[in-house]
Amino acid sequence: MSKPTSFICEHTAEYVLVPALKRILQKGYEFVTPIFPWMTREGSNISKEIHIDEKFQILGLYPRRPKLANIKNSEILVNINKDIKVGAESALKHGIPMVAGCPLASNLFELGKEPNCMWIKLCESTNESYRVDMDAEQVKSICLQHEHVFDTDENLINYSIANCSFLSLPEALEAFKDIKMKSTKLEFFHPMSFMGGYKPVYFLMK
């Protein structure tokens, strides 16, 4: 059996995951805006001035790719890298819980049909990998048997509400820097630190 690999990149997975997670979060929050923060854009002086009196609850999402051993194998593998877990542990200390998301699709056609998505709570005890048999009659039921996988939208929302702190935009930006540094093992922040590596999408909510 060949080494599992994916037919898409994380950025392509984002296009499916971000609107799906936003729809879920809107069931529990009036305001939900996903951002892919840059210090010179979302972190600019004008952005800080516009939102100077605002505080947000924030949930982070690390997109994951569905991996296949070969085109005849119906099993999807979802990997949780160590760097992502380190970033998630750092985020939780700032009051920003993190989840990993993966679209359960084995080709581009399935990806374009609003596939089921697996949402995984990221913490120290999160598994390194999760496997889903796409030929199973109840794919969603099968994936929910895994530890740390959210079994309902309500449970994901409740986890977010229970673990999100209220942060001002400057506080959030400093947290984003620290999360990136911890996940990439950097001792100090540099503007180029946001290039490369794993970078989550953050959902600002009220």
- pLDDT (tens digit, 9 = 90+) per residue, 188-205? 555 555 555 788 999 999
Among all chains, which residue has been given the structure tokens 């290039």?
195
Given CA atoms 140, 142, 143, 145 in this order, what sign does their dihedral have? Answer: positive
- pLDDT (tens digit, 9 = 90+) per residue, 8-67? 999 999 999 999 999 999 999 999 999 999 888 887 899 989 999 999 999 999 999 999
Among all chains, which residue has been given the structure tokens 């581009």?
108
- pLDDT (tens digit, 9 = 90+) per residue, 96-115? 999 999 999 999 999 999 99
Ordered strands of the 5-6 beta sheet = 5-6, 67-68, 75-79, 129-133
Alpha helices for the chain (secondary structure H): 10-25, 45-50, 82-93, 108-111, 139-143, 153-163, 169-184
Give the integer Cα–Cα distance in Å for 82 and 163: 22
pLDDT at residue 68 is higher than 60: yes
Range 132-138 average pLDDT: 70
- pLDDT (tens digit, 9 = 90+) per residue, 139-196? 555 555 577 999 899 999 999 999 999 999 999 999 999 998 888 765 555 555 555 5
Closest C-alpha to 118, from 139, 104, 107: 104
Local structure of residue 134 (DSSP, 8 states) = T
pLDDT value for 144: 54
Closest C-alpha to 128, from 184, 85, 84, 79: 79
